[in-house]
Structure 1
């Protein structure tokens, strides 16, 4: 068994190789890294967070100074996400001391970074080496996780690819539906009314059977006025249900197309604002 393997600086993006190599001290090895693509204001920016066997390093491209935190008790590196944006946070015993934002496409690399940080912190506190098998040489090209010779697929990537998206993300569409809330309410009321209209025929068919057809089978004469009333009610209910159903379909389809158009327009405007 051996300590967790270090990564070569050649695995880093070329723009960071020289800058990071100047920061490494004697016998310091890079274990994991994460390239940041957002700043704290959620603007597109480049940065790097690195876990080594001695400390945590971080730097945004716009800053000249590297930040560093040596392993110590009560340090915690955690992640959370909201509205499609992830946040990597570093805590000490009292408060949050640093944080970095990233797009959720980097989630696998973030998990790898946190795992390496936790292992090295445990090693610093307990003296127990984080271990991997000696024959572990293969590295996943996506998340940099080490794989055994018996593993054909990366379990980390496989877990991420099969994770179902949260249904709560649908609530983010409310801002596109809000301008049409009046029409949505009308569509909801039309749905109730059309459903109610389709329930009318059974209540007219039952008295038609009891008061007209069954007495006719028993030899009584047909009450023409009563038959006319029931059949007229059935016809009106059918026409009303058709009209309400058509109006409901038209209204909901109109709102759906308008929301879809707003989504496409917002996406296109966002793409035009990118660098």
Structure 2
């Protein structure tokens, strides 16, 4: 197995090899190999503390060697201990040792078949793009808040409609007030005040509806995010120790922390903006067609091109965000394995 920490818990590569008669080891940061022949009473013990694992080769009276590693190597360490006990017993009593010929992926520690050279789990994670339909799986978390979500949708609809009132008032304001005033005609001050009050009222109504919509849906999104984090944490508690031995601490922390926060931000901000923009486009199109159908068609001609450009840019941005997520997972993993061991 590979060990990745030296005696001072600095990152450095070493290796421990188990044979039929002895243990060979090259400690991290050293060039010389050391061998430890099997002796009666010899044991290989496993310990872990604060994100750091340790293998100790022991005799009844003293310790022969110790190797340190991050918990990402924990699964391999447990397999080495099992093989050590089997081969030590075989060395002294002559019984054939059970050979563990199952190989695992060095990245995710998933079992590999004898004829598999590429891990199917890692290949699927790296090469399978995330599907947008996966977001619909959040509905089971949103179902308890469907009343608030319906209220937020209605407020979104009303707020968008209120924001479209000023264009209707602007047209008669231009025709009945500004153009006649520019031509030197007498204007009705009461009519001017009525139009201006209508514009002010529409703006205040749109602001109030938008604020109420944002408050309700942001509150719902935070509650959904809290339920999602709680469900993820409870699911992790039900998993076996072998699962945690094959996973990096930083990846698990990122799933509970930053990735759940991104889902909350998506639900509270980006999804609301997307819904508002779609409603705005639909209502504006309806108004344009009611005024002049041909003018509406000319105005909406660039819309398919804009949608296509958004799709192209989204794919490129998604690739960049996936790379950022992997790098952030590496950083979090190093910090989670290093900082807890600092005293």
TM interval, short-chain normalised: 0.3 to 0.5
Provide the TM-score with structure 1 as the length reference.
Answer: 0.46
Higher share in helix: 2
Question: Which structure is higher in RCO with an 8 Å CA cutoff and minimum separation 6?
Answer: 2
Provide the TM-score with structure 2 as the length reference.
Answer: 0.38
Higher share in strand: 1
